[in-house]
Copies of this chain bind each other. A is one copy, B any other.
């Protein structure tokens, strides 16, 4: 048993079996993958990594499972099953590339702006890579340590992380690790708030743990605790508005994105397709190559010099948003990334056929939207920014005008 001191959850315990996974080079990698990309350029405290977020997600997945077991007497939640669910939490981000989502932006930008043939799946790219790592690199440890009657741990974890669950156990695990209210989101809201030094993402995690139930195959929250759900969704929405979607944070992520895209286009670094390739690629060698070949992008990131933003954001009210995007991407292509378009999109909460937060009053479960008026103010977050290097300042007049006329 080993204890890891964690600023968010106190102590996190790692037993011998978990240690085998944590000691694997593919997990140790996460020590050097920045959790929130370039957000530290605005919130200096946000230098934390995916490593500690992964431990935290494992911790919360175990806590949630244990309380659900107590509240709902779910037979299949054995000690072994709870361990396995927590391991799915531990490994849910194992496929993240350097700078996390920023690298996913690189791939999307290569395709959309530069017309490169890149295989990417938006924000799911790290999930695909994660599946490869789990099945190719971690399967022997997983099979040795976490197999038990009727369960193939590799399949289980992959199904859970990808949301393609087949069994009741997998469904619950998937809800606990990847749904509207889960251990992943709970951890990153608390953790990112802590490191940023803001209150936005705080919510009453101790209460949340105690009001979760498993009813008729669904994850549900006790009705009397409905406000905790609102608090949670709002906490998340505020983190997006104020931190993740901060316009200046966006600009620095765009600079990094186009800088890395340049390195790839010039074949200085390669897009990692296999786990072994990913293991070799890291923020150190990327930044180091950027220093040698990245010119304006390197100076922009390291010295905060050269780049500006068109002060006015492109809001969701903007009627010409699509035209602006096309024009900006064209300019981006023509200036080799010295003009940059960066958009933000998030849906705080939306019910559809399959997905909803359920509320349980002791008798029946209802959808969250039917018990909370708060849902109505959960607005879709959507905006975009245009940034540019001062060198090409003379080229942005048109874009500036289009944005001004936009609303």
Which A residues have a C-beta under 8 Å from some C-beta of B? Answer: 3-8, 10-11, 23, 25, 28-29, 31-32, 40-41, 43-45, 47-49, 51-52, 55, 194-200, 202-204, 206-207, 210, 227, 230-231, 234, 238, 241-242, 280, 282-289, 291, 302-305, 373-377, 379
Contacts and interface: CB of A to CB of B under 8 A. Distances in A.
Contacts of A283: 284
A370 B5 CA distance: 28
24 contacts: A5-B45, A5-B197, A5-B198, A7-B197, A11-B210, A25-B302, A25-B303, A28-B302, A28-B303, A28-B304, A31-B41, A44-B49, A45-B52, A195-B195, A199-B203, A199-B204, A200-B231, A227-B241, A227-B242, A284-B285, A285-B287, A285-B288, A288-B289, A376-B377
Most buried by B among A197, A198, A227, A282: A197
A64 to B, nearest CB: 15
A349 to B, nearest CB: 12
B51 A49 contact: no
Contact of A11 (B5, B48, B207): B207
Given A28-B304, A48-B47, A291-B284, A7 B195 contact: yes
Contacts of A41: 31
Name the prevailing secondary structure of the A interface residues: helix
A203 B193 CA distance: 13
Contact of A373 (B4, B44, B286, B379): B379
A154 B207 CA distance: 34
A283 B291 CA distance: 12
A22 to B, nearest CB: 9
Nearest to A53: B44
Contact of A32 (B11, B207, B302): B302
Contact of A47 (B47, B280, B285, B376): B47
Contact of A238 (B52, B227, B305): B227
A48 B45 contact: yes
A313 B45 CA distance: 34
A284 to B, nearest CB: 4
B242 A238 contact: no
A373 B7 CA distance: 30
Contact of A44 (B31, B194, B196): B31
A289 B285 CA distance: 8
Contacts of A202: 199, 202
Contacts of A374: 377
A10 B196 CA distance: 10
A203 B202 CA distance: 10
Given A199-B204, A234-B234, A305-B25, A7 B194 contact: yes
Nearest to A26: B303
